Amino acid sequence: MTQARLIEVETAILSKNDSYAEGNRRVLNALEVFTVNLVSSPGSGKTTLLCETIRRLGDVPLAVIEGDQQTANDAERIRATGARAVQINTGKGCHLDAHMVGHALDRLRLRQGSFLFIENVGNLVCPAAFDLGEDCKVAILSVTEGEDKPLKYPDMFTASRLAILNKTDLAPHCDVDLDLYAANLKRVNPDIEIIALSARTGEGMDRWIDWLQARRDAKRAV
Amino acid sequence: MHEMSLVEGMRQIIERATADPGIAQVTRVRVEIGRFAGVETAALTFAWDVVMRGSKAEGAVLEIIDLPGSALCYDCGKIARIDSRLDPCPHCGSGKVMPEQGDEMRIKDMEVI
Ligand SMILES: Nc1nc2c(ncn2[C@@H]2O[C@H](COP(=O)(O)OP(=O)(O)OP(=O)(O)O)[C@@H](O)[C@H]2O)c(=O)[nH]1
Ligand SMILES: [Mg+2]
Ligand SMILES: [Zn+2]
């Protein structure tokens, strides 16, 4: 006669991802690489922002990991700037996970003190739960998406250290309330920093570049 | 969200925990899901039935324990239970609250024979 018994498990469902993320973080910290996980809905301008960021950073060593369900388009756009990029295709997957990023790291051979930009799959929901080993998440929201998006998708904005309000060049055409964007972002995350910019015209890009350099320098100083 | 990949993660954890050949079958699994974890219970249960096929936990009952959410108020410094990420502080009414708890996704225990 078999007897039912109870087994304590007490294990986080994402514990496997979290341990890969810790492995990535050890590698990245040893190399003093400042790593940003860029998250947003599709088309908010992540790749455009990255291309412009790479152009402005000039000779600073950096690399990019591109995550998309399909195509190598975004990695090709990055490589066209002269930067190194690895494309990850997630197929049906709605987010990057730390295991995929670990493989990409093996291929990138990062240099000491560089920047690593990880462009996540365009999706305002799922990537929030998956630590990749990054220093921080940066959420990109374009001004045409609507002021209520932080309230509708709070997880992503709570998980991010910085929100970039992109496409400010379109604001005059679309009746956009930038203050309301800021208020809604602060409502879901009182700590979030906000930079409004246009990756198209370059307006506000200096603040983003300064932010990146200050963060990387702070990381190297510890 | 990605309930399917969550359940795939659960399957791996369960397989590891039941590798002992003395365990024939898992009859019940209890998971704790935080209020703000963004997990759809119906989608999780559906994915559970599909993903567990062919494992020792095929047909096992999935029991979901809801964990409450809490937040720290930046104005009065209290930690309070809140039901939505958008709720104000129940003590002082401030909107400057930062979630503290509620994003848990954990397998608690399981019943095996
Ligand atoms: N007007 C304007 N258009 C922009 C700006 N930034 C990006 N775009 C345009 O927005 C569209 C989408 O830009 P992408 O950079 O491909 O966006 P993405 O977030 O990388 O998209 P996915 O990777 O597919 O999720 C393109 O047509 C860009 O030219 C901006 O600051 N202003
Ligand atoms: Mg892109
Ligand atoms: Zn309060």
Q: What are the C-alpha distances in Å from B79 to residues B55, B61, B72, B73, B97? A: 42, 34, 4, 6, 9
Separation between Cα atoms, residue B37 and residue A148, nearest integer Å: 20
Could you tell me what percentage of chain A is helix, strand and coil, using 3-state DSSP and rounding each to the nearest 5? 45, 25, 35
Sequence ranges of the domains in chain B:
3-112
Residues in chain A within 8 Å Cβ distance of B10: 13
pTM: 0.93
Could you tell me what percentage of chain B is helix, strand and coil, using 3-state DSSP and rounding each to the nearest 5? 25, 35, 45
Q: What is the pLDDT of residue A222?
A: 78
Q: Hey, is the C-beta of A91 within 8 angstroms of any chain B C-beta?
A: no
Residues in chain A within 8 Å Cβ distance of B36: 155
Separation between Cα atoms, residue A73 and residue A47, nearest integer Å: 10
Sole residue written with tokens 């005059």 = A172
pLDDT tops 90 at residue A204: yes
User: Which CATH architecture describes the domain B3-112?
Assistant: 2-Layer Sandwich (3.30)
pLDDT bucket at A3, cuts 50 / 70 / 90: confident
pLDDT tops 70 at residue A217: yes
Q: Hey, is the C-beta of A149 within 8 angstroms of any chain B C-beta?
A: no
Q: ipTM, 2 decimals? A: 0.90
Domains and CATH numbers, chain A: 3-221 (3.40.50.300)
